[in-house]
Structure formats: C-alpha cells, structure tokens
C-alpha cells in the first residue's frame, strides 16, 4: 500500500532532507511531495489527500478549516516544539494524530537563556559597544565606572523565576544553580514532584514576579497565555529585575513592555522572540539601550538541526507502519484512531 506524505514548508529553498527516500529506506512506500505554503487554501490544495503531513505549525495555518478538508490524514507532524497555529481540538475531533519534536533543542534554548541572563546582568553589549565606539579612554575609565558598573550584578544568590516548567526550563535549572542561583517556578499544569526532584520551589505567578531578580519565560503560547505579561503584571516586578524570553513573543504585551522599561518598572529585557517576527523596524523597543534582541535563534546548533530534520521522517514511518509517534500531543485520540485505521500499537 502506498501512502502520500506532504511536507509543507514556509521557506521556499529550506535545506530539508528528502523524506521520501528516508521513508523508503525505512520500508514505507510513499509518494513524497514538498510544497511551499503560507495560506489555508494553499495547505488544503497541497495536502487534502495526504496520509501524513510534515509542517511547521508555528507558521502554517493548520486551522479547523484546513483540518476539516484533510480526508485521509493520519498524522500532522510539527517540525519543532511549538504548534501555535495548529487547532489541536479540531485535529483530535477528526481522529488525526498530532505530534511534535519536543526535545531536539533543550540544551540550545536553555544555553541561550543562560547567555541572555549573563549578557543582561554583566552588561556585555553595553561594554562592547563602548569599546567599539572609542569610549574606553582610560583605565579605569570614570564614565564606565559611573554609568555601567553600578548596574552590574552578581548572579550568586539571585533568584531566577521560571514561568513554565517543561523540558527546557528543567534543563536550565542545573545551569542556573551552577552559578549559585535560587530557582523558583510557576506552572499550574505540572505535578509538584517535578519541582521537588530538581530542588525548585513551586510558587504562584504573583510571588514569582515579586521575588525574582531574573524572570525567564518558557510557557507555550495559548489563548490563556497570550499577553500574560501585560503592564499590570510587569509593574509587579522588581525595578532591578530582568525579563528573558526564549519561548514565544506574544507571551508579552510588547507595548506594555516598552512602557514598563521606560517607566523603570524593570531594569531590562532580553528577547529571542518578538511579536511579530521579524520585529517591526520602527518598534520602540529597538531604541532602548536596556533591551537585547536576538533573531529567534535560541534553538539552533548544527547537532540540533540534524536531529530536527531526522526525527520527522522517523515519526512518519512509525505511524504509517502501525505504531504511535513518540511526540504524540493528543493521546486521547488513540481509541478512535485505532477504530478507523486498525492501529495495533
């Protein structure tokens, strides 16, 4: 039996492996199609008769409208951790398995978060810019001593507050503790034992905002978490605190963040993600010298990229051969899926 596998890409010349060949080597005969899509109608036209779809569900619109037209689909595989634009409820209602690649960049994103923490607290960007612009006139330089040194802090003894306590923040915990930091976390959907096993104090969001010297965001983007840090919440932070975001830009109300930073409600922010992406060139955050922005790159390294591009083929092969995907996001669909497709796993 031959299957149709469609890969929906958002970058026309993205360096993606030939999953068709990978699947054949795994013993699955497929027709493999790779197509560039950015709209609902384009996804429907390309994938309406697909047995499995590989996509980037933070960019392509896997909406209810799209999912209702996927008459043969068994699996939608999100090539990455996020699935912001995928209607999981609709997919579950149509007996479609949804999976992601949840652990390919744990080290990279947690490393990047730690790097942003260090860059913010040690004023790396400001100090480098002063030297580049010829501002280091003497040693010691009185202007640097006056304007920069008083804002630099020691990490040991500081409190790191993690908003969200999934795989990435749990990977960050030992790195932060290696610098002598106290770590607290907020996540209402994680069992207390997960916090206890890593020596992390579980707290409510208000306590985290009030006590943290550095706050690092790691929540998934949902209707509940969109703009979870608005002006009211940002005002609860210490005026000496820093906000780090390597998760999703829309967790923060960016206008409110600009207001909070200019009003002195917090000391600075370091963002790998923004709303929208790329950030608008006239966004006022770009004019603030206490803001660091990196171009959504926390997830990347060569080892992570190789794993990310390998795993989708393995997951599709697993499903088309009759097993469950490892990164299954909607396990409640298993019984109905089995009734339709004769799933044995």
Mean pLDDT across the stretch 259-276?
98
Contacts of residue 186, defined as CB under 8 A and 6 or more positions apart, other chains included, come to 161, 162, 163, 164, 165, 202, 203, 204, 205, 207, 208
How many degrees, rounded to 5, is the angle at CA 257 between CA 251 and CA 258?
145
Report residue 343's pLDDT band, with 50, 70 and 90 as the boundaries: low
Which token pair is 37? 């899509």
pLDDT over threshold 70, residue 32: yes
CA distance 218 to 248: 8
Helix (H) / strand (E) element for 208: namely helix 205-211
Is 277 among the residues known to form the active site?
Answer: yes
pLDDT over threshold 90, residue 60: no
Contact between 77 and 54 under an 8 Å Cβ cutoff? The reply is: yes
pLDDT over threshold 70, residue 235: yes
Contacts of residue 64, defined as CB under 8 A and 6 or more positions apart, other chains included, come to 87, 90
pLDDT of residue 173: 99
Contacts of residue 344, defined as CB under 8 A and 6 or more positions apart, other chains included, come to 322, 338
Select from 101, 7, 8, 99 the least CA-distant residue to 59: 8
Report residue 151's pLDDT band, with 50, 70 and 90 as the boundaries: very high
- Model pLDDT for residues 191-209, shown as the tens digit of each residue: 999 999 999 999 999 999 9
pTM, two decimals, is: 0.93
Domains and CATH numbers, the chain: 3-104+302-341 (3.40.50.720), 106-293 (3.40.50.720)
Give the CA diameter of the chain: 76
pLDDT of residue 344: 53
pLDDT of residue 227: 99
Name the active-site residue from 277, 307, 310, 336. 277
% of the chain with per-residue pLDDT over 90: 88
Name the active-site residue from 170, 182, 202, 296. 296
Name the active-site residue from 74, 94, 218, 248. 248
pLDDT of residue 2: 86
Burial of 209 (0-12, 13-18, 19+ CB in 10 A): buried
Number of Cβ atoms within 10 Å of the Cβ of 313: 24
CA distance 28 to 19: 11
DSSP 8-22: EESSTT-----HHHH
- Model pLDDT for residues 274-310, shown as the tens digit of each residue: 999 999 999 999 999 999 999 999 999 999 999 999 9
């Amino acid at each position: 039996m031959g299957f149709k596998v469609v890969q929906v890409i958002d970058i026309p010349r993205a360096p993606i492996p030939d999953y068709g060949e990978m699947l054949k080597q795994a013993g699955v005969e497929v027709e493999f199609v790779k197509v560039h899509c950015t709209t609902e109608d384009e996804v429907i036209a390309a994938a309406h008769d697909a047995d499995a779809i590989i996509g980037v569900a933070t960019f392509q619109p896997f909406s209810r409208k799209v999912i209702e037209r996927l008459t043969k689909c068994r699996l939608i595989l999100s090539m990455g951790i996020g699935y912001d634009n995928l209607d999981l409820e609709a997919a579950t209602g149509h007996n479609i398995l949804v999976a992601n690649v949840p652990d390919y960049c744990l080290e990279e994103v947690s490393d990047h978060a730690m790097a942003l923490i260090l860059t913010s607290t040690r004023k790396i960007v400001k100090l480098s810019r002063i030297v580049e612009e010829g501002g280091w006139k003497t040693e010691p330089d009185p202007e640097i001593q006056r304007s920069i040194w008083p804002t630099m802090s020691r990490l040991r003894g500081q409190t790191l507050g993690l908003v969200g306590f999934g795989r990435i923040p749990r990977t960050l915990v030992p790195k932060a503790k290696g610098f002598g930091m106290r770590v607290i976390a907020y996540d209402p959907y994680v069992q207390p034992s997960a916090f206890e096993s890593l020596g992390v104090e579980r707290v409510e969001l208000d306590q985290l905002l009030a006590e943290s010297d550095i706050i690092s965001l790691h929540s998934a983007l949902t209707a509940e978490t969109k703009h979870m840090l608005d002006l009211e919440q940002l005002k609860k932070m210490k005026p000496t605190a820093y906000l780090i975001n390597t998760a999703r830009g829309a967790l923060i109300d960016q206008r409110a963040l600009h207001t909070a930073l200019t009003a002195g409600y917090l000391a600075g922010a370091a963002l790998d993600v923004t709303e929208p992406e790329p950030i608008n060139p006239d966004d006022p955050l770009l004019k603030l010298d206490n803001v660091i922005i990196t171009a959504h790159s926390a997830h990347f390294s060569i080892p992570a990229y190789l794993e990310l591009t390998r795993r989708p083929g393995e997951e599709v092969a697993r499903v088309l051969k009759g097993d469950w995907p490892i990164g299954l996001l909607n396990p409640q669909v298993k019984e109905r899926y089995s009734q339709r497709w004769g799933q044995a796993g």
